[in-house]
Amino acid sequence: MPAETTENKDFRHIVRIGEADLHGAKKLLPSLRNIKGISFYLASAACIVTGIDGNMKVGDLTNEDIKKLEDAVRNPRKYNIPIWALNRRKDLVTGEDKHVIGSDLKFQKDQDIKHLKKIKCYKGVRHSLGLPVRGQRTKGNFRHGKTIGVRKKGVGK
């Protein structure tokens, strides 16, 4: 019994958008969220501004639709998507509002952590020591490394 999606001869089983391979048989809106750096709101906004239905299958997209979506996801300010939806506001180096996805997002995050370590702020010191950064308790959790348990006196001989 042939699958419903294989009836279309132009159907693609894998579509590459924003450095991510999206499964062609799934709906567009949830699939866009599989791209690192794309939130639910940005995925919805990208579908609306490009005029593409978010419920259609990813494999049914045309080349033009893919290019429009890629551009809307990479440059949301060009499509008047609000600034608060961007993930890189007031960048440390340039001072501008931008949105980064995929490997660029990973690179920016690593650079931010290196900057925190360099200026030796509290978060940077916690990162360098391998401890939790956001105020979690450490008595029962985050116990890894050399010492695992408690030794009683005279038992280890």
* pTM, two decimal places: 0.74
pLDDT in tens, the chain (157 residues): 445 545 667 888 898 988 889 998 999 999 999 999 999 999 999 999 999 999 999 999 999 999 999 999 999 999 999 999 998 888 888 888 989 998 999 999 999 999 999 999 999 999 998 889 998 888 888 877 666 566 677 665 5
The domains located in the chain, with CATH, are 8-85 (1.10.8.50), 102-134 (no CATH)
The tokens describing 104, both together, are 């660029």
Is the torsion defined by CA of 131, 136, 139, 144 positive or negative?
negative
Q: How is 92-154 classified by DSSP, letter by letter? A: TTT---B---THHHHHHHHHHHHHHHHHT-HHHHHHHHT--SS----SSSS--SS--S-PPTT
The tokens describing 48, both together, are 């609306």
